Amino acid sequence: MCGRFTLTERNGKLIEARLGLTDGALDAIGDYVPRYNIAPTQPYFVLVTRYENRAILPARWGLLPYWSKDASRASQAINAKSETVESTPTFREAFRKRRCVVPADGFYEWTGGRSARQALWIRRRDGQLLLFAGLYEEWKPAAGNRETTFTILTCAANSTMAAVHNRMPVILSDRDADDWMNPREADPIALKRMLIPVNNDVLEMRPVSALVNDVRNEGPELLTAPEQGSLF
């Protein structure tokens, strides 16, 4: 699964370049700041296709279908199983019409028993961005403007991830990301071929500070090694 992730690059212009965005595209979310502990129901952004170009869409993590009466189930829809996404009521319409990419540069998982849980930061070995396959929806609260929400698709873990969890986020190549986001795709089911574990040698993981455990904590100190030393 993916229950917490990061985008730690300080330079917003570099993020725009790596995502293939036009200069100033990140202005859509206001002042860009690096994020070290992105948690469910928090505001973030997703990548979409608009008129053949990539664009930024501000969104909140935890997909709410348009027919939602309130936001109470948002935290239960932060991930969608790729195996059943086309048939699950919460996600099936977004799968057909509103596919997106969620940019990140790492995500967290935990290992160990309840009394000695160790946070792990997982990222690409080459340091490039992770492009999570996602879905987005719009819903309108009883009082207020429409709000965009999103979910991250998951698949079975590869052998690297299986040591800590049996699921992992679907990570797309840059080329597959464009196909995934294409709103004109006539056969979305065909896109499920992309929803597979990334190759075993793509990711690496390392233990980080227990500060990650509290969603209120932010900052580069979350990625420091734990005091008891490395587990790997």
What domains does the chain contain, in order, with CATH numbers?
A: 5-223 (3.90.1680.10)
pLDDT class of 229 with cuts at 50, 70, 90 = very low
**What phi and psi values does residue 223 have, to the nearest 5 degrees?**
-95, 5
Q: For a pLDDT cut of 90, what percent of the chain falls above it?
A: 82
Q: Residue 134: what pLDDT? A: 98
Q: Cα separation of 65 and 140, whole Å?
A: 10
Q: Residue 69: what pLDDT? A: 85
pTM of the model: 0.94
Q: Cα separation of 30 and 216, whole Å?
A: 21
Strands (E), the chain: 5-7, 35-38, 43-50, 53-61, 79-81, 99-104, 106-111, 118-124, 130-139, 147-156, 167-169, 203-207
Catalytic residue, from 2, 16, 137, 155: name it. 2
> Which residue, 179, 80, 191, is CA-closest to 136?
80
The answer on pLDDT for 228 being more than 70 is no
Half-sphere CA count of 191, side-chain side, radius 13 A: 29
pLDDT class of 106 with cuts at 50, 70, 90 = very high
Read off the pLDDT of each residue in 12-26 and give the average, rounded to a whole number.
95
- Asked if residue 216 lies in contact with residue 82, where contact means CB atoms within 8 angstroms, the answer is no
- Residue 109 is a catalytic residue: yes
pLDDT class of 1 with cuts at 50, 70, 90 = low
**What letter represents residue 82's amino acid?**
S
- Asked if residue 80 lies in contact with residue 63, where contact means CB atoms within 8 angstroms, the answer is yes
- Residue 2 is a catalytic residue: yes
101, with CB counted inside 10 A (0-12, 13-18, 19+), is buried
Catalytic residue, from 16, 109, 137, 155: name it. 109
